[in-house]
Chains A and B, each alone.
Chain A
C-alpha cells in the first residue's frame, strides 16, 4: 500500500506544478454554467411554470445535476490524454514499475489520485452551489461523495479502455458521442421521464443519471431510501470498472 501512496505523492507533486491550468475548468466554468443555465435560463423556465419539476426552481433543479456532469467530464478527461501519457507517450508507468511498486500499488495510487482530483472539482462546485443558494439542506453535502463516486463510475471504465489503446483518436469520438449525449439527456436539464421510454431505460443504466438523482435529492433535502438502488448502479460501475481496469492495466504493463 505504500506503493499506492508514493504514486499518489508523485501525481500530487505533478499537480502542484500544473494546477493553475485546471482552475478554469474546476472553478470558473461552474459559476458560468450556474449563472447562465440556473439564473438566466431558469428565470424563463420558472415564469412559464415548473409543474414538471418536483416543485422547485429551475436553478435548484439543474445545479446539483451540473455538479455531477462536471465530475463526469473531469473523470473522462483525466483518463483520456493525461492517462495515455502515462501509459504510452511518457511511459511514466514503466518507470514506476522498475521500482519496488507493484502493478496493484500503481493502480491503487492512480485511483486515489483520480478521487482526489474529483474531490477538488466537486468541492469547488459545491461551494458555488451554496453561494448561489441552491443547497437547501445540510444533507446536501452528501452530493460531494456522490460526485466522486459518479466520476469514478466513468473514470474506471475509461481507464480500462485507455489501457488497451496506443492511439488517441477514439477520445474525440468518446467526447462527442458518449459524453455530450450523457450530459444532455441524463436528467440534467429536464426529468428523464420526458424521454421516450426506451431512451429513459438506457439513461437509467448510466452512472450519471443515477448520480444526478441522488445528488439532487441531497441538495433539495428530500433524500430517502429510494436513493439506494440508484447508488447501487453507480457502485456497480465503480466496482466492475475497477476490476476490468486493473486487469487491462496488468495486461498492458506486464509483458
Chain B
C-alpha cells in the first residue's frame, strides 16, 4: 500500500497476548519485523511460537495488546492481509489425490489469480522448488522433503510480501533440510521478508538476521544470533566427559573447586561438565595441569544452543 512508508515495520506487536480459556499461550510480547529481514521465533515446544504465528497470519484472533501486519489491523483487514502473505504451516496441508501442479493451481485460485496466470506461476514455482520433473505426480507419492518444498512453493503463489514459516524443516533428513534452507536463502536474496519459528539452533543461526527466544509465552532474549551468543554465553565452551564415579556430589564439588577460576560458569550434566570460557584451549591445558583426567575433552565455539539452554533451562518439555 502506498500509504505505508518503506521504513515502517511489516509486523509490529505490543503487549501481544493470546489466551485459550485460562491458559495464556502468549503473554504480552513486543517485537517488530522490518521489511527484508529474516526474523525467528526460537523456543521449546509450548513456548507460544505457533500461537504468535497464527495471530500474525490473521487466522487466530488477538486476545489482548496490539498487532499490525503490513500496516493493517488483523481484526479488521484479515482478508486483505492474508491476500499479501504466504503461510507455511507446521504440517503440510496438501491434496494427496491431486498432482503437484494442480495443488499449486488450485491454491492460487483462492487468491483470485486467473487460471492461466495461476498455472504459469505454478510452473515457475515448481522450478524454484526443484519439483519440475514431478509436476504430474500425485502428492501422495512424494517424499517428506518434496512435500515440504511443495508447501513452500504453494505459499508463494500469491507473490507474498511476507512469508510465515512454522517449523519449516522439522522432521526432514539433513539433505532435505539443506536443500530447503538453500531455497529460503534464495527467497531472502530476492528481498522477501521471512518470519519463522524453529527449535533447531542451526536453522536459526543459518537463516535469521534477528530472533527472539521465547519461553512460557514470553520473550526471554532478543538480538542477532551473534549478539545473543556474546551477551548470554562465552566465546568458547569446554566440554569434559567424566565416567561414572563414586559419590557424585563429592565429585561435582571437587571439579567445581578445581575449575572455578577457569571460566564464567560451570554446568553439570549426567556425565559431562560444561565450562563456559573465552579460551577453551587454555582452560583444557589447565584442567590437565591440575590433575583432572576426563575421559574426553571437547573445545568448541559457543552456539545459539548454549544460549537457548541457558535461557530456557535443560528440563525436558513435552
Contacts and interface: CB of A to CB of B under 8 A. Distances in A.
A17, A94, A98, A101, most chain B CB atoms within 10 A: A98
10 contacts: A3-B110, A10-B110, A14-B95, A17-B98, A18-B97, A91-B89, A94-B89, A99-B82, A99-B158, A100-B83
Interface stretch (B54-62, B169-177, B191-199, B308-316): B54-62
A41 to B, nearest CB: 39
A37 to B, nearest CB: 35
Nearest to A10: B106
B109 interface: yes
B142 to A, nearest CB: 15
A99 B107 contact: yes
Given A255-B20, A255-B60, A14 B112 contact: no
Contact of A6 (B57, B91, B109, B158): B109
A45 to B, nearest CB: 44
B110 A254 contact: no
A100 B110 contact: yes
A21 B78 CA distance: 38
Nearest to A98: B87
Contacts, number: 63
A95 interface: yes
A102 B89 contact: no
Contacts of A95: 89, 93, 107
Chain A interface residue number, banded: 20 to 34
Contact of B102 (A2, A13, A94): A13
A97 interface: yes
Contacts of B111: 99-100
Nearest to A106: B110
Contacts of A94: 59, 89, 93
A91 B106 contact: no
A41 B283 CA distance: 95
A247 interface: no
A91 B107 CA distance: 14
B15 interface: no
Interface in A86-105: 90-92, 94-102
A193 interface: no
B61 A254 contact: yes
Nearest to A99: B110
A9 interface: yes
A14 B59 CA distance: 25
Interface string B80-117: 10110001010101111110001000110111100000
Given A18-B97, A92-B93, A98 B57 contact: yes
B79 interface: yes
A14 B97 contact: yes
Contacts of A91: 89, 91, 93
